[in-house]
Each structure stands twice: as structure tokens, then as C-alpha cells.
């Protein structure tokens, strides 16, 4: 029977998309499948996205498998970070004055350089390969989710994507998003969900491996079992396993927004930690992002083994994927115990922009989504952080946003923090307040947009939340959302002046 491998190592995102429901076996760092060398068993291999390059997860055994399968003429498909594995090298030093390069395997003659992209895209097929046979001139759909998307080199192009924004700026253009090797059996692409949204690509893979109807049915059957097994594990390599235990008393999932008083407050770290900690307990937690930068959801999805969907990004000011009204209508039909909505920058950033909605505050108010507010103590100190929380809470309550609690994050002095929490309790009258210490991460970066080892970031986030926050109270903070419409710019402006 036919067998298609899916790379399953630290930093990989094997459930970020469904990959056309084609993978039947997991390729782990030992390079073996059921006691045999993987290249003797597999008919093809898919390398998913993630932080594989940053995590330096390609063992010698896996490298041997990939190179051997290439020499055998078997298909290899690399997505995003999996593409980088197949390339010559990647400069991951986006915030470094000098290149910070990580070597790939050099199978595809390209190098990668910093270029942020998070658009839903349409991509034009420009050349033949095992994946695109008979499709030249056609358009496929999917999404970009990358920090290092500037592809340079001599490999034959197969995809060009039409993007609207790069590096946080409107700049409509066509960019290279996929290449092949000279033989056409190895492909790298930046177009996530391409196999899921474009069945012709999956059909071409099945034809390339000479799968008959019996083979195809067996592939889909094996894929179901594989996904079920894979989703039992929380993250990869953390040795944590859990079964889902959905609540039975919730006809629709409750929502809770994790918002901040500014950038670098720790929203992503706290969101990731809550997801990991609840997932360990068996809860099914969905995640959404206000605005277009879906990269912030990657750590949560890594732990949760959940895919990035068309409804993962909430539009503000025309930026993002789907409107809040559409998302509430769509997501409420899914089985989750809780949905966490990660805010963007400060919850008030953009609220006085004439485009509405343009802030996380407007999303929270329009959807009647309660908020857990986070602030970091690393910039202005604990005292300033406490005042920020108090003033943000006061304004949110005045304009009709329900604040369920507040967290002092990146605390460096317990005694000062306790005094600050007493001040917050007396000032805000909030029933729940928490504090989280400053955490040291092994990777250079502390956020998904910088070099990061997903397994380290996610483990530390989960461990920190479990130790320092009350999960039982947090899961009860969520409420069922209801879209009530947006206030006009004039109404928002008057609210600010009056308050």
C-alpha cells in the first residue's frame, strides 16, 4: 500500500493544515518507520511549517531520509519552514544588524531572507512539476504566514503569490512563493493550506505515486487514524499526552479576549500558556487573532494541534481575513470549551482611526467579548504597569467592555508586585488579579516574530501559567459572544471626550 510521510520533529506544525488528508505515517528524528528506514517505506514526504530551522531539528537520520528519497525520485514537498529545510540557507536575523544564517540541505537552489507576510493569497502556477502537472496558468488559493519570505536563487519558479501587505505595509505585488528542483520531484512553497483548498494539487500527488482507488481509500483511512494519534500529544517532544474532554453543558463555545496595554505586554505568551495548560487538562481551546498578524497564533496551534483556518483572523480596518460577525457565526458551530481571542498592541490602539473597527476594544465591545487584561512590567516598572492596568480598566468599563481580570506580567520583584496588586484591587474593584514572573527563554527571541524555538517558548509558557495563574477561574471568565454592531467614529470619539 502507498505511504506518505509527515515530518514530526521539534518545531514542526504537523496539524497547521490538513495537507490534503494525505499523510499516513509520522517521520520522527530517528528516521525510522515501523522499524524500517523511512526511505524504504515511504512513497513521498511532506515537511510542514513551523520553526524547524530555528529549532535546528533535522537530525542526521532525517537528513539521510530526505536526501535518499530525492535520489530515488520520490516526491518531497516542503511548506514554509519545511521549504527552508530544503533550501541552501535562511537568514533568521530579522532584528539583527548582521545576518544570522542557518543552513538547509541545499536540495533547492534558493536562500531565504526576512520578509513578513500574513495574507490570504491567490497564487499563479507558472511551471510543471509533480504537484502542478497540467495546471500552468491556473490560480490556487491559500495563505502566507512567514517572517522569512524573501526567496532568492536559481531554482525554477512554480508559484507567484499576489500579496497586499509585506513587512506591515501596504505594498500590492507578486512575489515568488514556490520553486522546484530540476527534476521536478522536490518542491518548496510558502502557500499554506494549498493542498486543502486546491484538490487538484492532491490529485496530482496521488497520480505521481500511482495510487489506485483502493490505495486512495486506504490513505484517507490511515490519515484519520494518524491525526487522532497525533492530536493526543500536546506539542511535540514534551512527553505530554491528553484526551479531549469537552464540556457537555455548552451549546456554543464561550469566548475570552486576552488583551494588553501595549506591544510586548506578553499577550502571546499568556495565551499560549493558557492553551497549553488547559489542553493538558483535556479542554479543547480555540484561538483567534485580532488583525492580520496570525503568526502570534502559531505557538498555541503548536500545542493545540489545531489548524489555521479561514476564520482565524478578525478584520480591523480592512486588515485581516474575516469580519467578526462572520467569525462568530462560523466558529459557534464548532466544538470548543473556550475560544481565546488574542488582541493587537494595546486594546485601544487605533480606536480613534476613522476606519471602524480599528482596535481590539471595538471588537470586544461589538462582540460582547469579556477581556482578561495583561501588561508587562519590563519597560516602565511594576508601578507604571499597575497604573496602566487601572487606567485601561477604567476606560474599558466606561465604554461598556467587561473586564474579567488583570495580570501583571514579567514581574521582577514579588513585594512590589503584591503592593501593586493591592492598589489594583482597591482601584478597579476587579474580582481576579494575577501576576507572572519574568521568564528566561533559551532562544534569542521571546516572540514568534523573532528567532524562536517553539518547544521552549511553549513549554515555558505552559509551565508558567500552570504555576502562577488560576486556570479554573480563567476558564469560567468566557462568555458566549453576540455581535451587536460597531459604534460610529463620532460615537467613539465622543465616548473618549466624555470619559
Domain segments of the chain as ranges: 4-231, 254-498
Question: What Å distances lie between residue 342 and 136, 293, 391, CA to CA?
Answer: 39, 10, 20
CATH superfamily of the 254-498 domain: P-loop containing nucleotide triphosphate hydrolases (3.40.50.300)
244-276: string of b/e by CB count within 10 Å (b at 16+)? eeeeeeeeebbbbbbbbbbebbbbbbbbbbbbb
* Distance separating alpha carbons of residues 340 and 475, to the nearest angstrom: 10
Q: For the chain, what is the largest distance between any 2 Cα atoms, rounded to a whole number of angstroms?
A: 72
CA angle 95, 98, 103 (to 5 degrees): 95
* CATH 1.10.1060.10 describes domain 4-231: no
* Distance separating alpha carbons of residues 316 and 399, to the nearest angstrom: 19
Peptide bond into 364 cis (omega under 30): no
* Distance separating alpha carbons of residues 19 and 80, to the nearest angstrom: 13
Contact between 345 and 260 (Cβ < 8 Å): yes
* Distance separating alpha carbons of residues 319 and 268, to the nearest angstrom: 19
State the residue for C-alpha cell 503584591: 418
Local confidence pLDDT in tens for the 499 residues of the chain: 899 999 999 999 999 999 999 999 999 999 999 999 999 999 999 999 999 998 899 999 999 999 999 999 999 999 999 999 999 999 988 767 777 899 999 999 999 999 999 999 999 999 999 999 999 999 999 999 999 999 999 999 999 999 999 999 999 999 999 999 999 999 999 999 999 999 999 999 999 999 999 999 999 999 999 999 999 999 998 788 888 776 656 678 999 999 999 998 999 999 999 999 999 999 999 999 999 999 999 999 999 999 999 999 999 999 999 999 999 999 877 789 999 999 999 999 999 999 999 999 999 999 999 999 999 999 999 999 999 999 999 999 999 999 999 999 999 999 999 999 999 999 999 999 999 999 977 544 555 555 578 888 999 999 999 999 999 999 999 999 999 999 998 888 787 777 7
Tell which residue, 78, 16, 15, has the closest CA to residue 44. Answer: 78
Locate 18 and state its grid cell.
Answer: 490538513
* Distance separating alpha carbons of residues 486 and 363, to the nearest angstrom: 8
pLDDT, tens digit, 9 for 90 and up, residues 236-247: 987 888 887 766
Hey, is 238 helix, strand or coil? coil
Contact between 287 and 275 (Cβ < 8 Å): yes
Query: What is residue 444's predicted lDDT score, i.e. its pLDDT?
Result: 45
- β partners of residue 288: 341
* Distance separating alpha carbons of residues 77 and 89, to the nearest angstrom: 17
* Distance separating alpha carbons of residues 392 and 413, to the nearest angstrom: 23
- β partners of residue 180: 187
Enclosing H/E stretch for 460: helix 454-468
Amino acid at each position: 500500500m502507498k505511504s506518505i510521510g509527515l515530518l514530526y520533529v521539534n518545531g514542526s506544525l504537523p496539524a497547521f493544515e490538513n495537507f490534503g488528508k494525505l499523510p499516513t505515517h509520522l517521520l520522527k528524528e530517528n528516521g525510522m518507520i515501523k522499524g524500517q528506514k523511512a526511505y524504504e517505506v515511504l512513497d513521498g514526504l511532506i515537511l510542514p511549517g513551523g520553526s524547524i530551522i530555528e529549532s535546528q531539528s533535522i537530525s542526521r537520520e532525517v537528513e539521510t531520509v530526505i536526501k535518499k528519497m530525492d535520489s530515488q525520485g520520490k516526491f518531497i514537498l516542503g511548506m514554509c519552514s519545511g521549504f527552508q529545510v530544503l533550501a541552501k540557507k535562511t537568514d533568521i536575523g530579522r532584528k539583527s544588524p548582521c545576518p544570522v544564517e542557518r543552513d538547509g540541505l541545499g536540495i533547492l537552489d534558493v536562500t531565504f531572507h526576512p520578509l513578513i507576510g500574513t495574507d490570504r493569497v491567490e497564487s499563479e502556477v507558472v511551471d510543471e512539476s509533480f504537484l502542478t502537472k497540467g495546471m500552468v496558468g491556473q490560480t490556487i488559493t491559500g495563505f502566507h504566514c512567514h517572517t522569512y519570505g524573501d526567496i532568492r536563487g536559481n531554482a525554477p519558479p512554480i508559484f507567484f503569490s499576489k500579496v497586499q501587505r509585506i513587512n506591515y505595509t501596504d505594498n500590492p505585488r507578486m512575489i515568488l512563493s514556490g520553486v522546484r528542483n530540476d527534476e521536478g520531484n522536490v518542491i518548496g512553497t510558502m502557500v499554506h493550506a494549498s493542498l486543502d483548498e486546491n484538490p487538484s494539487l492532491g490529485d496530482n500527488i496521488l497520480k505521481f505515486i500511482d495510487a489506485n482507488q483502493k490505495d486512495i481509500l486506504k490513505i484517507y483511512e490511515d490519515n484519520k487514524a494518524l491525526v487522532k494519534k497525533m492530536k493526543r500529544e500536546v506539542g511535540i517532544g514534551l512527553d505530554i499526552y491528553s484526551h479531549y474532554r469537552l464540556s457537555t453543558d455548552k451549546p456554543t463555545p464561550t469566548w475570552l479576549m486576552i488583551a494588553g496595554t501595549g506591544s510586548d505586554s506578553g499577550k502571546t505568551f499568556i495565551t499560549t500558556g493558557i492553551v497549553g495548560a488547559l489542553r493538558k487538562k483535556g479542554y479543547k481551546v480555540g484561538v483567534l487573532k485580532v488583525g492580520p498578524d496570525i503568526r502570534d497564533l502559531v505557538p498555541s496551534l503548536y500545542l493545540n494541534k489545531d489548524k489555521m483556518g479561514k476564520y482565524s483572523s478578525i478584520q480591523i480596518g480592512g486588515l485581516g481575513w474575516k469580519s467578526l460577525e462572520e467569525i462568530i457565526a462560523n466558529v459557534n458551530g464548532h466544538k470548543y470549551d473556550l475560544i481565546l481571542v488574542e488582541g493587537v498592541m494595546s486594546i485601544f490602539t487605533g480606536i480613534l482611526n476613522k476606519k471602524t473597527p480599528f482596535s481590539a476594544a471595538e471588537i470586544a465591545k461589538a462582540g460582547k467579548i469579556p477581556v482578561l487584561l495583561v501588561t508587562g512590567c519590563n519597560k516602565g516598572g511594576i508601578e507604571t504597569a499597575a497604573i496602566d492596568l487601572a487606567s485601561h480598566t477604567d476606560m474599558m468599563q466606561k465604554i461598556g467592555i467587561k473586564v474579567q481580570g488583570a495580570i501583571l506580567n514579567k514581574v521582577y520583584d514579588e513585594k512590589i508586585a503584591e503592593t501593586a496588586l493591592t492598589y489594583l484591587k482597591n482601584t478597579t474593584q476587579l474580582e481576579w488579579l494575577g501576576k507572572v514572573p519574568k521568564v528566561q527563554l533559551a532562544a534569542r527571541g521571546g516572540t514568534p516574530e523573532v528567532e524562536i524555538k517553539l518547544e521552549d517558548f511553549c513549554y515555558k509558557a505552559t509551565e508558567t501559567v500552570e504555576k502562577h495563574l488560576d486556570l479554573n477561574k480563567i476558564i469560567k471568565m468566557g462568555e458566549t459572544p453576540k455581535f451587536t454592531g460597531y459604534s460610529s467614529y463620532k460615537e467613539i470619539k465622543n465616548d473618549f471626550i466624555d470619559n
